[in-house]
Amino acid sequence: MSDEGLAVQTIGYNAAMSQALVEEMRRDDRIFVLGQGVATGGWFATERGLAAEFGEKRVLDTNISEAFQAGVVAGAAIAGMKPVVNMGFGDFALIAGDEIFHKLAKWRYMHGDNFPMTAVVIFPIGAMGGAGPEHSGCSEVLGIHYPGLKVVVPATAADAKGLMRAALREPNPVLFHSVQSLGWTKGEVPIDPEYIVPIGKAVVRRSGGAATVITYGSMLARCLDAAERLSGEGIALEVIDLRTLVPLDWPTVLASVRGTHRAMVVHEAMRTAGPGAEIAARIQEEAFYDLEAPVLRVGAKDLPLPQHSALETLCLPSVAQIEAEARRLMSL
C-alpha cells in the first residue's frame, strides 16, 4: 500500500488509534473493546466514539481489575471473538502478568492447537510528565522475552492507525504499546480505511552513512533532532524506526549496520536489560566483522521514574544525551 497520493488528515495519535478501532469494528462484528473507562471514550480518548456507535454490548467498561481484563480477553479470543482491551497504563499490566504472558502468549502452544487467535492488548508505555514511577514504565521488553506475542510500538499517528488495523487483522495476540507521551501528537494520517502498516517492518526515517541509530516510540523524534544537529557537522546518522519489536526487522537493521559500520540503540526503557541489550547483542553476533566500534545503547537511567516531572526528565534520554552518545560512537 503506497503512501503516495493518499488523502491525509492531521489528527492526534490516540485519535488515530480510535479511528482504526471504529473502522475495523464496522467491518468485523467479532471485535469488541473493554477496559476501565472505555465506554466513556477512554481516559485518553483512545476509544472516543466507540460506545456511541457500537453500544455497551461491544464497548464495555470494566471495574478496576487488570487481571480480569486481560484474562477475559484471552478466554474470549480462544472462544473465537476478537477482543481489544485497554490496560490503562502499561505499569498496571504487570498485575495481569499471568494472563498476558502465560495465557495469551502460551495457550495455543501448550495445547498444541493451531487456530487464529486475535486479541489486542493496548499496553501504553512511557513517561507523561509527572505521572510517577508506577504510571510511566516501559516494559515492552517482556513481550520480547515471552514468545507467543507480537509486539508493536507506533511512533507516529499514522503508524498508530496502521498498526492498530494490522493488529486487529492479525491471527495472533498483539501487545500494542501505545506511547503515552505521544497521545496528543498530531501527524498526517491517511484517511483510507484500508491503510495498514504491516507488523514486522521497520522503516528508515532518515538516511545516512556515518552510523545507524535504532530506535522506536518516544525516542524517534529525539533521535531525528540529534541527527539534524549532527548533520550540520558532517555526521550523517541513519535513523531506523523499528515500529515492531516482535518480530523484529533484523534484515533492515543489519543491512544498515553493514553499510555504516557503527550502531547505537536508543529507547526510553531503562538501559539495563532493555530491548537495546538484545538488539546490541544480536548485531554484534551477526555483524561483528562489519563493525568499526562497539554497539552503544542509550536508555533511561536504571531507576524508578521520580514523580516530579523535572526529576523525571533527568532520568530520560535527552536529545543532548543522544547527540553526545552519537559523537562518542563516532570517536571509537
Partner 1 sequence: MSFLTELRIPHSGSVENAKLMSWLVAEGAAYRAGQALYEIETDKTLMEVEAETDGVLARREAAEGDERKVGERVGWCAPAGASAEGIAAALKALDASSANAAGAELAPTPPASSSQAAGPESGGKLSPLVRRLAAEHQVDLARVAGTGPGGKITGDDVLRAAKSAGDAAPSIPGYEDVPVKVVPNSSRRKAIARRLLDSVRNSALLTADMQIDLGAVFTAREHLNATRQSRGEAPVSVLAYVAQALCKVLRMRPDFNATFTDSHTMLWQAVHLGVAVDCPEGLVVPVIRDADRLGVEQIDAAVRGLAQRARDNQLKSDELEGATFTLSNPGSLGPVLRAEAVLNPPQVALLGLPALLRTPVAVEGPEGQWTVVVRPVVRPSLTFDHRALDGGQAIGFLVDLKRLLEQQAGQA
Partner 2 sequence: MTEPAAQPTRDQLERMFFRMALSRQIEKLMARHVREHRFSGWWHPGEGQEAAPIGATAAMRDDDYLWYQGRGTAWSVGKGMSVDPILGDLLGKTTGSTGGKGGGVPHWRDRSIGVMGEGATLGSVFPLAAGSALASKIRGTDQVSLADFGDGTAARGTFHEALVHAAAWKLPVIYFCENNGFLVGTRLGSVSPTEDIADYAAGYHIPGVIVDGQDAVATYQVTAQAIARARAGEGPTLIEAKVFRRQGHYAGDPQNYRDVDHDLKSYRDPLDVLGIRLASGTAEMLQEKAAAVVLAAYEAAMAAPEPDESVIWKDLFYER
Binding site for partner 2 (CB under 8 A): 30, 32, 57-58, 60, 62-63, 65, 67-81, 83, 98-99, 102-103, 107-117, 147-148, 150, 171-172
Q: How far is the CB of 138 from partner 1 (least distance, A)?
A: 16
Give the residue from 152, 161, 270 showing the smallest Cα distance to 217. Answer: 152
Compute how many residues bind partner 1; rule: CB under 8 A.
22
Which of 155, 179, 298, 305 binds partner 1 (CB under 8 A)? It is 298
Residue keyed to cell 538501559: 271
What is the grid cell recorded at 1? 500500500
Closest CB to partner 2 among 60 and 305? 60
Strand partners of residue 82: 31
- Whole-angstrom CA distances from 201 to 21, 46, 152 are 21, 24, 10
Nearest-angstrom CA–CA distance, 198 and 164: 10
Cα–Cα distance measured from residue 209 to residue 214, given in angstroms and rounded to the nearest whole number: 14
Q: Which does 327 bind (CB under 5 to 8 A by kind): partner 2, partner 1, none?
A: partner 1
Cα–Cα distance between 98 and 60 in angstroms, integer? 22
Q: Which of 185, 231, 252, 321 binds partner 1 (CB under 8 A)?
A: 321
b/e per residue 211-236 (b: at least 16 CB within 10 A): bbbbbbbbbbbbbbebbebbeeeebe
Q: Which one among 252, 293, 304, 306 touches partner 1, defined by CB under 8 A? A: 293
Residue whose cell numbers read 559500520: 261
Query: What's the min distance (Å) between Cβ of 232 and partner 1?
Result: 14
Site for partner 1 in 231-290 (CB under 8 A): 261, 271, 288-290
> Of 214, 199, 218, which Cα lies nearest the Cα of 278?
214
Report the residue number, 97 or 130, with the smaller CB distance to partner 2: 97
Work out what residue 70 binds among partner 1, partner 2, none; the CB cut-off runs from 5 to 8 Å by kind. Answer: partner 2
Judged by beta carbon distances under 5 to 8 A according to partner kind, the member of partner 1, partner 2, none in contact with residue 43 is none
Residue 323 binds: one of partner 1, partner 2, none (C-beta under 5 to 8 A by kind): partner 1
Binding site for partner 1 (CB under 8 A): 261, 271, 288-293, 298, 301, 314, 318, 320-321, 323-325, 327-328, 330-332
**Catalytic residue ranges:** 135
